[in-house]
Amino acid sequence: MNSLALDLHGAEVLLPQAGLGPATLSLADGLIQADPVGRRVNLSGYLVLPGIIDIHGDGFERHMAPRRGAMKQMSEGVIAAEAELAANGMTTAVLAQFYSWEGGLRGPEFAEQVFMAIRQMRDGVVTDVIPQLRFETHLLADYADLPQRLANWGVSYVVFNDHLPHERLAAGKIPPRLTGQALKAGRNPDRHLQLLRDLHAAGSDVQAALDDLAPRLVKAGVRLGSHDDRTAADRDRWRARGVRIAEFPETLEAAEAARAGGDSVVLGAPNLVRGGSHKGNVSALELVAMGLCDALASDYHYPSPRRAALMLARSGICEFSDAWGLVSREPARVLGLADRGELAPGQRADLVILEQKSHRVAATLSGGRVSYMTGDVAARFLR
């Protein structure tokens, strides 16, 4: 597909060794170029930064099904989701889809529809969208078929979750919001409660099943992560299985264990922006300040990675290049994407242009192609 051939000048550009400063950035054939290519665009008053790589986000859910049962053309949902991603400076985005006992929009059937839509539309959108499966560990009946399903869906990234309300179930109590959850899943509340009880009761078989499943997935080339680790022992068990990404550790202990074991730690940008976890877990800001963060993710709010990186730089917790690296260079490293994350010759021309004063997104280019552009900057490109 055609990409722009331009020399962007007059802007502050974030370069790998030089940091943020005045520079000319050339792009052609979808790549950053070492030498000028001919057509100049004046971007004075703007910042040119590496495009944001969102390493985990489920904010696309509202586009795939804005109301229960309302979205019939999943491809339209992918297009709508990409528009929001691009408007927030994202050039690569991991779309994290549940595969859960919760059913409905988080059930296996819906997951299959989402993944097939992503597979169908990946070449039809500008943003590089990467599917991620969030697999509930207690769905033991689904373990045998999971590797083949992943292959059919084109999914090579799996994160393990356990969202069962174990404490309530162990105490013989009814979990909160059970009726509403059951209705969303299209189940009778009594049947839904019995399903949760049955899954909880089978918990003693889960660890052995994971010991078998995870290495099989690793052998098949699937990248693996765990979600919401609480203890060092949790992280050690996951690492022994080949699960090397720790998403949103809930405690300092778990984050320190991940770092000590050479694992990658992904934190939620909304946690950092709001100043703490909405669930009372360890503060992402504290973990970043302690050097216990490899990448920041949108989680559920696409504007947050940009805001979090700028906030870290403004507060002095990180130098600008390091703060922005948490949403660009480092997510690329964690995902094994060696062709992006920095504005260096030979790298993909993935970049976001911000207004220098307001830091609003003015334009986003992925692979040298425009995915979002507005206002004055659009006039400059077209001039």
- Please state which of the four CATH numbers 1.20.210.10, 3.50.50.60, 2.30.40.10, 1.10.30.50 is assigned to the domain occupying 1-51+342-383: 2.30.40.10
The pTM of the full predicted model, rounded to 2 decimals, is: 0.95
Residue 2: is its pLDDT beyond 80? no
Q: Residue 62: its pLDDT value, please?
A: 86
List own/partner pairs for 231-238 with CB under 8 A and 24 or more apart. Answer: 231/257, 232/256, 232/257, 235/261, 235/263, 236/261, 237/207, 238/160, 238/214
52-341 topology per CATH: TIM Barrel (3.20.20)
For the chain, percent of residues with pLDDT exceeding 70: 97
Cα torsion 185, 191, 194, 195 to 10°: value is -40
Helix (H) or strand (E) holding 352: strand 351-355
How far apart are the C-alpha atoms of 329 and 312, rounded to whole Å?
Answer: 16
Residue 279: is its pLDDT beyond 70? no
How far apart are the C-alpha atoms of 290 and 312, rounded to whole Å?
Answer: 13
Q: Residue 36: its pLDDT value, please?
A: 96
Domain locations along the chain: 1-51+342-383, 52-341
Residue 104: is its pLDDT beyond 80? yes
Residue 187: is its pLDDT beyond 70? yes
CA angle 284, 59, 74 (to 5 degrees): 155
**Residues 112-137: pLDDT tens digits?**
999 999 999 999 999 999 999 999 99
For the chain, percent of residues with pLDDT exceeding 90: 89
Task: Name residues whose C-beta falls within 8 Å of residue 315's C-beta, 6 or more positions apart in sequence.
Answer: none
Q: Residue 137: its pLDDT value, please?
A: 98
Average pLDDT, the chain: 94
Mean of pLDDT values over 229-254: 97
Neighbours of 200 (CB within 10 A): 15
| pLDDT band, residue 38 (cuts 50/70/90) | confident
Neighbours of 117 (CB within 10 A): 21
**Residues 142-151: pLDDT tens digits?**
999 999 999 9
